[in-house]
Structure 1
Amino acid sequence: MDKRISKANYKPAGIVLGLAAGTLSGMVFQRVWSMTMHRTAPHPIDEDRGWGEILFAAALQGAIVAVIRASIDRAGATGVRKFTGYWPHD
């Protein structure tokens, strides 16, 4: 017997974890940006901010989102295995 959980069965947990990852990564990005730049993060259409700052903020936010998303997804899959004994798969 296959010792994995199908994507359809894992999807509800994945959705909840994805929402948590998005919320957490937004908070972490805002905190990191304000600690390093000593002001709020730029919005892409902010006329007073230059291209460099806008693109750097986007790259930093993307990296933070990716790391937090991967961490939460991995922790969720590990939790499912501990709870059910099976690893979720695609």
Structure 2
Amino acid sequence: MSRTVSKVAYRPVGILLGMAAGVAAGAVFRQVWKLTAGDGEAPDAIDEDRGWGEILAAAALQGAIFAVVRAAVDRGGAIGVRRFTGNWPD
């Protein structure tokens, strides 16, 4: 198949995988936060009762988890499209 077909085939796959990655990253973050902080809820940036350190640590952890999950999902989706179309999506 041509590269154009590969791109078109990956677009809807990428959108669905992106949404799934967001949901999965959120679930992973909540579990990791429970284990590391002992709290059931991660702090919100405007939570008056939480300090800067806790808020920034939670944001950094959430960002790192989201980036890793998103990269893994994107890579897996690209591999799947290559297997299906024979071309790597650009």
The TM-score, its normalising length taken from structure 1, stands at 0.90
Secondary structure of the residue aligned to 1:31 is helix
1:36 matches 2:44? no
Cα distance between partner residues in 2 of 1:28 and 1:42: 16
The gaps in structure 1 that reach 5 residues or longer are none
Distance 1:9 1:23 in 2: 22
Unaligned segments of structure 2, at least 5 residues: none
Q: Match of 1:88, SS?
A: coil
**8 Å Cα contact 2:9/2:81 also seen in 1:** no
Aligned to 1:47: 48
The number of residues matched between the two structures is 88
The structure with the greater share of residues assigned to strand is 1
Using the size of structure 2 for normalisation, the TM-score is 0.90
Compared CA separation, residues 12 and 3, structure 1 to 2 (3 A): closer
Structure-1 residue corresponding to 2:82: 81
Q: Which whole-Å CA distance do the structure 2 matches of 1:2 and 1:76 have between them?
A: 18
CA RMSD in angstroms, aligned pairs only: 1.6
